Amino acid sequence: MKTKVIVFIGSFLTVFAENKTETFIVKGGNCDECKIHIEKAALSVPGVSIVDWDRESKDLQVVFDDTKTDVDTIQKAIAKRGNDTPNHKANEEAYNELPPCCKYE
């Protein structure tokens, strides 16, 4: 009796998420509290992995998984916490909740 052995070699497609880096202006004050507040707002968005806000230039550099989020969503989250971004302005109530040192013109 002959035995046949069938070997199946399947191919699997793995999709790797792309990390994207973007930089945009976020209005804020010049203290450590502002930096923490802005960076925490950006990090609250699922898919955001790295953020760095420069107090002098007001530039926020953000690294995110572009399969999970986008710049618009990140900017909305920051504006919701009281800081203006290029495409989204904080409402007056959120802005007024900022500590006095974090308020800006």
Q: Which domains can be identified in the chain, with CATH numbers? A: 19-102 (3.30.70.100)
Q: Which residue has 């203006």 as its token pair?
A: 84
pLDDT of residue 93: 97
**Which strand (E) or helix (H) includes residue 68?**
none
pLDDT in tens, 50-73: 999 999 999 999 999 999 999 999
Residue 57, CA distances (Å) to 20, 35, 74, 95, 104 in order: 21, 12, 19, 20, 14
Instruction: Measure the CA–CA gap between 18 and 4, rounded to whole angstroms.
Output: 44
> β-pairing, 48-53 with 59-65?
antiparallel
What residues have CB less than 8 Å from 3, skipping those under 6 apart?
none
> pTM of this prediction?
0.82
